[in-house]
Every structure is written in structure tokens, then in C-alpha cells.
Structure 1
Amino acid sequence: MDTKKLLLAVRLGETLHFGKAAEIENMAQSGLSAQIAKLESELGFRLFVRANRTVALTEAGEIFIKKARVILADMHNSIVECKALADNKRSVLRIGMFGDQAAEYTHPMFALFQRLNPDIRLVFIELQMTNQVQSLVGGLVDVVLMRIPTHDARLEYVELFKEPRVAVVPATHALASLGALTVADLLDKPFAIPAEGAPSDLISYWSLADVRNEPSKVAAMVKTIPEVISAVAYGGAFDTFPSSLTKAYNHPGIRYIPIDDASLSAMSLATLQGNRSPGVRALRYCAEQTFEVSFSQ
């Protein structure tokens, strides 16, 4: 099947109206109807139900349209990236980050990289809690700004810096009025726990299960920082964050409170074992100059 049919299906899925979808795509309604019929024939199942001049998605159609949006977005991003390469003849270094690039620490490193490597374009890709390791192993990104501890033999981790942790507390909870907490104050609390796919050692670390020596109570399963914040604000969840993250996310339903005795959070530069591409080597050099770390070459 071609991408044009996918685009038309997505457009019809958005409008649920053949006339409106055809108008947006600047084509005849009969042509749109024919293309959708061909697509459904190729797929072997119905995407849309047409009855009494109304259009609705089938259950399979709803799932297909969601997947099609992702495919089209990925293709668009790939074309943009490849066009930039063709136009500028610049190589690309893809940096993965999970809502937490700790800009106050990492900006000097990336600014230095830009000054020293004008021929290499930095592309930043936002990841989720559940796909950081997978994105490196699968080749979606070249480098990930990844919190440690993690222990995956396929990756190399070099610690860049450490910073304090804070508790993320519902604004309505009694603990929210305190100026500081201890780890013991949080051990019996339910946590926002990363969904399946996140490294187990990171789950244990952020939910204090490594201190408790048993899994945390689960208030919510989450994949992103906004999901964590909503779970804390409205679902009674608790969590711990690195202190730099508090400057990027404010919400009236939560409070950030220092944890006096929590271990420091470490940020690493994670790559595949043995990756010594020019872009990775250049970023390693900038990390050395910025954070006074040492990389094996």
C-alpha cells in the first residue's frame, strides 16, 4: 500500500466525513471513497462503517488510524532529516532524552559541541521511560542522556554529574507543608511506577524500592513526566525527581520537597558498546571538557 492511502485514511478518521476529508485533500469525494475502498481491500478488514450518511471507525479502524499517524509522522521526520543531510551535506548526531536533559548542566556541553563541530547537526529525540535502552539498541538514537544506575551489557555509561533528589508530593498531603523529608518518610507511600519496558534498576531507584528492599506500592503506571505529575496531583501518587527537573515542570497540584538523606542522582552519556563514530567521539570530547570526565577511546 502507498502512503497516500494512509494519509487519506487518517484524514477521514479525523473528520469522519467524506466530503470534508476530500475537500481538505483537494480531491473528488468519489476518488476518496475509491481509495479508501482499495485500502480496505488490501488490508482485508473494514476501517470505516458507513450508514445513514454517517461515518464511524470500526474497532480495528481506530487502532489502524493511530498506527498510521505514527508511521506518517516517522516518515515525515525521516524525510526532513535526510533532506537536511542532502542539502547541507552535514552528518547528524541523534541525542535521545527522556523529558530530562538537565539543561543547566548539559547546555554548556552541547553549546561547545556546536562551536567545535559545525559540520555535525544535533537532532534531539524525546524518549519515554520505557524505551531509552531500546532506542539505542534499535538504532533510533546514537546517544542517550540516561540516569543511572542501569546495567545493560550492550551499553556503555559514563557518569557526567550528580545532583540532589527531591520528593514529588501531592499538594494536599500533610507532607507538602514540610521544608524537608527523609527517605523514611516516603517508604510506605504509593509511587508512580514506570510501565513495562523501563529498566528494573531505575524503577527500584526512583521509587526507593532499593532502600525498602521490596517493591513499592503502586499508585499509577506511567511513561512520561507529565503522566507522573498528573498521578501525583490527582491520583495520590508519590515519586522522586532529580532537582534540575523541578525547574522544567511546575504544577499547582504538586510540591517538590528536598530529601535530606537520599542518594544523589547521576546523569550519564549512554552509547552502544564500542560506538566510536565521529559524532560520538566529538560529543565525548565536549563532555570531557565540560564535566572533567574521562572516556576510553
Structure 2
Amino acid sequence: MDTDLLTSFLETAQRLHFGHAAERLGLTQPALSHQIRRLEQQVGVTLFTRTSRQVRLTAAGEVFVTEARRVLADLERAVTHCRSVAAGGAGQLRIGSIGAALNSVTPKLVRGLLDALPGLAVRVTQLDTPVQLVALRANEIDLAVVRAAGPASGIVLADLFCEPMVLALPARHRLAAKSVLSAADLRDERFVLWPRTTSPLFHDQVMDYCARAGFVPRTAMEGADIETQLGLVSAGIGVSPQPASFADLGRKGVTFRPLHEAPHSTVQLAWLQASPPPHLAVALSAARAAGVREP
């Protein structure tokens, strides 16, 4: 199948307008329509429904969007890898990582990979755990550094390290005078939290930790990233339970305190069982050197 047909299909699927898509592709509208008809004939299904007023994807067309993106991504990766090897390199490895791990294990993992494979091109992207699992299945990343991912069909998980929950609070907060805090200390506080969609298990751990002390935390705000949340804490908006590795960020106006009987969460390495990433053995060796337990 001609990859130009897939590119034209994806552009049309994004814009749902043959004229606009043709302009973006540098084609005439009749030429684009001809390409889409050729593609539909090759696939054997109708991908778009067209009227004089609108263009829509069929149910089959919506499915084919995902598959076409995957095919083009696989091809791009194969070409990049082959060119790198031909030039004396070791190919490319795409790594996703949660933000907390970028302050701890992920740089050590990358350093170990580059020490063992100097010609390896490594690309690291910060992504939340649920997004990384989707990206693995879509072949958008090869290896994922995630937090507390539950068992998932077709995905292999290897524990890297376990860390406790701590509390970020304004540096001049009255609780900052205590060396260790309990859940009961937080009863009257307002919380700055991760959205549950971003980190489901960690969010639930916060809720359970407070529930054991007999209260439901009052949410002042949610923040989509750690920089936003610590900024809100620094401004006195609330206190914020966080994985301990974020304490290394040293945000001005924010202090961190350990929590008594705090829950722990595990940072993991993940990859597709059916499609192991390039240089997996080297990656696991580098991970072991950073403290990983092999699966």
C-alpha cells in the first residue's frame, strides 16, 4: 500500500474537509478524492461518508485512523533505525517517563544505555502513566517509566523502586515546625491534588490515607503538573501530598515533611510483551544498576 494514501487519509480525517486537506497536501481536490477512493478500494471498506455539506468518518474509518498512524510510525522508526545502523550507530530508543522519575531513575537509565551503546539515539518524553500505556500500545514509545501501573494485558512491568508519600507545604506553614506529620494533622487543611485521571492509584492513596484518619480532604485546586502544584503550595493555596522524589526539586517557598505511616508507590519499567523494545537487555542492565528488580 502506498504510504502517500495513508498520509492523505490522515490529513482528510483530521480536517474532515476535502478542500482544506487537499490544500495542505498540495493536491487538487479531485486528485485527493481519487486517492481516497483508491485507498477505500484497497482496504475494502468505506472510510468517509460525504454529503454536499459535510464529511464524516465511518466507524471503520475511525478505526483505520489509529491503524494508519501506527503503520506510519512503525515505518518511520524502521527507517530511522536502519539509517542509524548504516551510519555506525545503534538505532533509536524512545522512552516515556513520569515527571518524578526524571528527577531520579530515568537519567541513570539513559546514562547506562549511552555508556553501553554510544551510538544509540535516545528520545525521552515526559508523560503521565495512563498516557504512556496508551502510547506503548500505539507504538509511539518503546519503553515506559510509570508509577503504580496495574496488570495490563500484553504489557510487561518491572519494579524499579518504591517511595513514600510526603507532604509539600508552604515554608512558613504552622505544620512546617513539626519534623513528621500524621494524617490527623491534615484534617483542617485544603489540598492541592493531582487529577485522578493523571495518577489514579496515587490519587486513591491520598484519599485512603485521609479516610483512615476519619476525614475527606478538602480540595482547593488540582494541578496538571508538579510545577503548577508546587506553585500553588508556595502561594499558600493549600498543602499537597507528593511522591518523595519531588522533594529534590527544591522549590522556593515550599518545604517537604515526611508523613507517619504514609503509603508507598512503586515506579516501574514497562514495555510491550509482543514487541520488546530495541536493546531491552541493555536497558534492563542499566535499570539494575539504578536499583531495579528484574521481572
The TM-score, its normalising length taken from structure 2, stands at: 0.62
Which residue number in structure 1 is paired with residue 84 of structure 2? Answer: 88
Work out whether 1:151 is the aligned partner of 2:171.
Answer: no
Q: 1:130 to 1:104 in 2, by over 3 A?
A: closer
Indicate the SS of the match to 2:279: helix
Which residue number in structure 2 is paired with residue 294 of structure 1? Answer: 294
Contact 2:195 2:203 in 1 (8 A): no
Contact 1:219 1:237 in 2 (8 A): yes
Structure 1 gaps, min length 5:
3-34, 43-77
Contact 2:142 2:277 in 1 (8 A): no
Contact 1:137 1:272 in 2 (8 A): yes
Indicate the SS of the match to 2:101: coil
Deviations 1:71-115 (A, max 9, x none): xxxxxxx9x999975763342111112222254444443322212
Indicate the SS of the match to 1:131: helix
Indicate the SS of the match to 2:158: strand
Q: Kindly report the root-mean-square deviation, in angstroms, between the aligned alpha carbons of the 2 structures.
A: 3.8
Which residue number in structure 2 is paired with residue 66 of structure 1? Answer: none
Contact 2:97 2:106 in 1 (8 A): no
The TM-score, its normalising length taken from structure 1, stands at: 0.61
Contact 1:160 1:269 in 2 (8 A): yes
Deviations 1:43-82 (A, max 9, x none): xxxxxxxxxxxxxxxxxxxxxxxxxxxxxxxxxxx9x999
Q: How many residues align?
A: 226
Contact 1:113 1:283 in 2 (8 A): yes
CA shift for structure 1 position 287? 1.8
Which residue number in structure 2 is paired with residue 137 of structure 1? Answer: 137
Deviations 1:4-55 (A, max 9, x none): xxxxxxxxxxxxxxxxxxxxxxxxxxxxxxx9xx88xx9xxxxxxxxxxxxx
Indicate the SS of the match to 2:118: coil
CA shift for structure 1 position 289? 4.2
Q: 2: CA distance between counterparts of 1:86 and 1:258?
A: 49
Q: 2: CA distance between counterparts of 1:127 and 1:107?
A: 15
Q: 1: CA distance between counterparts of 2:251 and 2:78?
A: 36
Contact 2:183 2:209 in 1 (8 A): no
Indicate the SS of the match to 1:291: coil
Which residue number in structure 2 is paired with residue 113 of structure 1? Answer: 113
Contact 1:204 1:215 in 2 (8 A): no
CA shift for structure 1 position 139? 2.8
Deviates more, 1:269-278 or 1:88-97: 269-278
Work out whether 1:201 is the aligned partner of 2:201.
Answer: yes
Give the partner amino acid of 2:285: Y
CA shift for structure 1 position 227? 1.3
